[in-house]
Chains A and B, each alone.
Chain A
Amino acid sequence: MKSLFYNMGYFIRELFKTIRLSALSNFFSFIGTSLILLLFGLILISWWIGDNLVSSLKDEAQISAYFSPGMEQEQMHKLVDEIASMDGVTTARYIDTEMAYEENKRLLGDEADILELFDDNPFESYIDIRINLDDMDSVISRVTSLQGIDYVRDNRDVLAQLKSLVNAIKLIGSVVALAVGITTIIIISHMIRQGIYNNREQINTLWLLGAPSWFIGFPFVLAGILLTLLGGFAAVGLIVLMLEKGYAQLSGYLMFLPFPSVSELKQNISYIIIVISAGLGLFGSLFGLSSIKKD
């Protein structure tokens, strides 16, 4: 411990010497590590956004039931009450044509001008039904079979598609995460081996003078961690930039899309990438160091 503390200055000088000795190849290692971590970060962000989307759509399990043509107002209200009292239904609300128009206008936002093109209100009245997700199938079949209900629209298809998309992202993400881990460890351990090779005489001499393995290996571990950390910081910088650009592009739609907040996203991704890059640097250099033992 004392030796570690007393030699910090020496270790740091050695660290820079190791990096300088094959500066170009270490620079390429840095670029490679940054790009790999960038890819990893982007996949992670899509995973996140997708997950967020799915879970907020799940919370809002909602179906719309449309009336058969020619129904009386009174019959409609009776149907609403009947549906409201069904098992698995939280609320059932009658949406008249005016309200449907307003709702669609709100959803269209900036594009609402399009509605001006219609002379009449193009929307029908319907019943907005909020349900428990688990009861979705049974509620839909019961509501469909009711007298006076023409058809039912649900967001199951969208949800299912989104879910499979998110699952695909997760699968790709896991493969990419694995690839990132292995590639980074290979890059770093190769860099460490190169450093050991460049320093082989010094290492051999230190070894003969009785230096403990940790003393010989420490500057290399530092070099590995420094390189991946630099790669991690570069990746974080690029990702933050991309996030800001991307969110700025989406700014008009953001209130309708259940996206995580950009600041939360930025913070989490930076934290994760930095921790992972330091961890990979440590593993990579220890892995590379295991080749010292053969001496």
Chain B
Amino acid sequence: MDKSIIKASDLSLVYKDGTKAVNKLNIEINPGDLVYITGPSGSGKTSFLKLLMGIEFPTGGSLNVLGVDIKKGRKGRIQKMRRQIGPIFQEFKLIEGRTALENVCMGMRFFGIRPSKIKKQAMEALIRVGLESKIHTKVENLSWGQAQRVAIARAVVRKPKLLLADEPTGNLDHENAVSMLQLLGSFCDSNTAVVITTHATHLIENQKNAIYVHVDKGEFSIKTGKAGIAAIS
């Protein structure tokens, strides 16, 4: 079996109104990869993540994520694939009226895990993102940054093979943005690939093994290491 997590060949996404969001992208992402996708607003970052999650479907080329060909009409397989992904959405998509803990548990309920174990792991995840004091607070009463941490906890508690973070530095000041990127990077290990989008290119440091992808109007360019950081900044 192919052990790459993402494999895109000539992947394209053209929206119905003619907007080219992804144009002929070729990329392979493996376990342990840390990928930064940068680019101005409206360049196609979120669109690429939507393709990875099977929310949008390729209009050209092919895309394989965690062994599943992303195509229309494969709902069951795509749902199964999504269970191996930890998504942190740009707008978080937390469930209102529920506490931070309930939101984190929600992501694991259909994994066949005992409820007591789910709760324990969810608590641990919330502690790891620094939300110990807000475990039982309803999410609509959290600050933007705290809600984001709930979203992160919900994503990582699933021990995903692919962690996707869309614009996690958006509303954060410089210092917090840097530590946010560090936190997300820390989930990258030999089993997990992490993909982070941001338009704050100045925050990204040169890291060993990191893959830097720059996108503008759907055109992707990919670099690794020092050359990569130089190319995007």
Contacts and interface: CB of A to CB of B under 8 A. Distances in A.
B106 A206 contact: yes
Given A3-B112, A6-B114, A215-B109, A208 B95 contact: no
* Tier of interface size on chain B: 20 to 34
Given A10-B109, A201-B95, A202-B95, A210 B115 contact: no
A10 B118 CA distance: 12
B60 to A, nearest CB: 24
A70 B109 CA distance: 95
Interface string A184-208: 0000000000000000011011111
Nearest to B83: A210
A213 B84 CA distance: 17
Nearest to B105: A10
A6 B87 contact: no
B55 A6 contact: no
A15 to B, nearest CB: 15
Contacts of A204: 93
Contacts of B28: none
Contacts of A209: 82-83, 87, 106-107, 154
B79 interface: yes
Contacts of A2: 112
Nearest to A8: B115
Interface in B181-209: none
* Tier of interface size on chain A: 10 to 19
B95 A211 contact: no
B26 to A, nearest CB: 26
**Residue from B84, B110, B113 whose CB has the most chain A CB atoms within 10 Å:** B110
A212 interface: yes
Nearest to A205: B93
A7 B119 CA distance: 12
Nearest to A17: B97
B85 interface: yes
A208 B154 CA distance: 13
B129 to A, nearest CB: 17
Given A201-B93, A205-B106, 7 more contacts: A6-B114, A6-B115, A10-B115, A208-B55, A210-B84, A211-B109, A212-B110
Interface of A: 2-3, 6-7, 9-10, 201-202, 204-213, 215
7 tightest Cβ-Cβ pairs between the two chains A and B: A210-B82, A210-B83, A2-B112, A215-B110, A205-B93, A202-B95, A211-B110
